[in-house]
Amino acid sequence: MSFPLPLPMRRALDLAAEAAAAGEVPVGAVITRNGAIVAEGRNRMREGHDPTAHAEMVVLRAAAEVLGTSRLDECSLWVSLEPCAMCAGAIALARLKEVRFAAEDPKGGAVVNGPRLFGQPTCHHRPDVLGGIGEEEAAAQLRRFFAERR
């Protein structure tokens, strides 16, 4: 039995598709507070000539601007791919309440794979993490994107 995706993850996956259409790796992200979408973003590294413009970094900056604070402790991040080390570090610094992601990233992920940043003793904030929400669709987007470039 299949359940509909939560609206924020549905939007993150749609943003990932927009990223792919723009020639970016298909990753999209949404930040919610009290169930409402506060900000959204997608990968923009190539278009902005900015190696830090991962979807998570874009949405963190947008949410901080909208809310007028760098502390997003009442917020949740919904992202189509497991965050990398850079993004996981920014998530911890923003004090996000929770992280929900679709597909794991065995090569570049840093939450449940690789360094598992939130489990390190030097990490001062550990959001609640849940992966696998919309995993099949996110993984298919990534496979298609890279297959087209080979």
| Residues carrying an active site annotation | 56
Say how many C-beta atoms besides its own lie within 10 A of residue 102's C-beta.
27
Say whether 54 counts as a known binding-site residue. yes
Is residue 124 marked as binding? no
The answer to whether the annotation marks 87 as part of a ligand binding site is yes
How far is the C-alpha of 142 from the C-alpha of 25, rounded, in Å? 7
Residue ranges of E strands in 55-97: 75-81
Distance CA 17, CA 55 (A): 12
Per the annotation, binding residues for Zn(2+) are 54, 84, 87
Per the annotation, binding residues are 54, 84, 87
